[in-house]
Amino acid sequence: MFQVNDYDGYERAALHYAAERDVFCVELLLESGADINIPDGNCDTPLHWAAFKNNIQCVKLLLQRGAKVDPLDFNNDTPLAWAARKGHVEVISVLLDYNADPHIENLRGLTPVDKCIQVQISGLNTDNDNDCLGLMLRASWKLELTDAQQESIKGDNRLSDLLLPRIVSPSPLQSHCRYLIRKALGCRFLPNVVPKLPVPQRLQDFISLKC
């Protein structure tokens, strides 16, 4: 008899497929006892697949039901890294609302921020990719590029103006403080947490990446 967490021949469970496509199927499977963080054969979780396929409803539901926001696949990539590579700005925004970490390195030493920059350097970026990079830079406090990456962006005035100052100059103290505050708050839904902090509204907006 089929069990809700059984794997198919591709080492994937029903929830992996549902997370790509249909929020109602995800709801039904979770109510039937599906493991919300079940890894497939490559250690990809349902949240990885929902983020990769830009299924924002499934991303929200999985996070609301307690899915880990920064699970690692076989390459140590997080759902945030997958969304960054695909330019899914709304998914990135939701993951950052749940305090996903933009500085987790994969096995090649690349972070979700690096994924955004790679898309820019490739010249395949869209307006969504540009928005993704801006959002990820607000969430981060440091930027480290290889010599080859620095050479690649020197011919692009927009990228040079945006990225090179962050490399040659120390990160502003306020950016570092924001990152540390968010880190201290843990993987919770920050839009519910930040308004309860005993700090001015302007600082709440800063912590929430609104400015």
Over residues 76-91, the pLDDT tens digits come to: 999 999 999 999 999 9
Q: Any idea which residue has 């945006």 for tokens?
A: 162
CA-CA distance, 180 to 188, in Å (whole number)?
15
Q: Is residue 117 domain-shared with residue 153, that is, in the same domain? A: yes
107 in a domain, yes or no? Answer: yes
Reported as a single tens digit per residue, the pLDDT across 116-125 is 988 888 777 7
Are both 165 and 121 inside the same structural domain?
yes
Report if residue 1 sits inside a domain: yes
pTM score: 0.91
Q: Are residues 60 and 105 in the same domain?
A: no
- Which of 78, 122, 121, 76 is closest to 102 using CA atoms? 78
Residue 24 lies in a domain: yes
DSSP H helices, the chain, are: 14-21, 23-31, 46-52, 56-64, 79-86, 89-97, 112-122, 127-139, 147-153, 157-168, 173-185, 190-193, 201-207
Structural domain boundaries enclosing 52: 1-68
Residues 98 and 185 in one domain: yes
Neighbours of 167 (CB within 10 A): 13
| 77 in any annotated domain | no
Number of domains in the chain: 2
Q: What DSSP designation does 7 have?
A: B
Instruction: Check whether residue 179 and residue 137 sit in a common domain.
Output: yes
